[in-house]
């Protein structure tokens, strides 16, 4: 998911009241793509840099959009 401040997270997402709960969260620090964020739905590229964050809570109003991940991320 993309948050309005530019953060991009991958994880197990659940709606918890007015908050989006992201468990097993990974923050993508560097995409490492040549054709945009959509390249990462199947997992990170060799040049991708990501950091494990554990549990992240985000106010639902701050979410810009979601992409469904189909595999390859260690979440």
Look at the chain and report how many structural domains it folds into: 1
**Percent of the chain at pLDDT exceeding 70:** 99
Mean pLDDT estimate for the chain: 93
Residue of 21, 20, 25, 24 lying closest to 9 (CA atoms): 25
Write phi, then psi, for 64 (nearest 5 degrees): -85, -50
For residue 7, give the CATH number of its domain. 2.30.30
Q: Would 75 be classed as within a structural domain?
A: no
User: Which residues sit opposite 30 in a β-bridge?
Assistant: 49
Contact 58, 3 (CB under 8 A): yes
In a domain, 74, yes or no: no
| pLDDT of res. 75 | 52
The domain containing residue 19 runs over which residues?
A: 2-65
In a domain, 72, yes or no: no
Residue 70 belongs to some domain of the structure: no
């Amino acid at each position: 998911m993309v948050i309005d401040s530019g953060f991009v997270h991958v994880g197990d997402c659940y709606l918890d009241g007015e908050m989006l709960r992201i468990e097993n969260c990974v923050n993508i620090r560097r995409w490492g793509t040549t054709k945009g964020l959509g390249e990462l739905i199947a997992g990170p590229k060799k040049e991708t840099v990501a950091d494990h964050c554990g549990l992240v809570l985000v106010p639902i109003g701050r979410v810009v959009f979601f992409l469904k991940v189909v595999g390859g991320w260690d979440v």
